[in-house]
Amino acid sequence: MPGAIFTSDLDGDGSLAGNTNGQQGDLLPGTTIGSFGRDFGVGGLTDLISQWNANGVGKLTPAGQALVDAGLFTPTQLVALGAVTPSIAAPPTGQEGLGNMFAFDLKLGWKIKPLHRLERW
């Protein structure tokens, strides 16, 4: 996605900013890969998104700030272009968390003993 570095690269490292691997930006600040279901559930996700929408939306990313620092754009111009961090939609009501998954394997085996009369054939 062209220009994703200005909306989704929250830490300024250039990774996961709309690259060709299908990634769509950095993780939400305060989370890590695998946090959902371990560190927080659906309620915690709703709280994180609400907190992000209250405090993180409309801010310049490090790439946007570099443009401002270089004197190429003003913060108002970048906001008008939409080159700021976007809001995140809240999870739909009634969502379920990741349930426990249990896997059981069963192996049945037996030896086949041919009848003595069939061994001669």
Q: Mean pLDDT per segment of 10 residues, for the chain of length 121 residues?
A: 70 59 64 80 86 88 89 91 86 77 79 65 56
Torsion of CA 3, 25, 42, 51, to 10 degrees: -60
pLDDT at 7: 77
pLDDT at 20: 42
pLDDT at 74: 92
Record the pTM. 0.62
Nearest-5° Cα angle at 26, 20 to 27 = 130
pLDDT at 1: 54
Residue 12 has which token pair? 């300024």
pLDDT at 44: 84
pLDDT at 72: 92
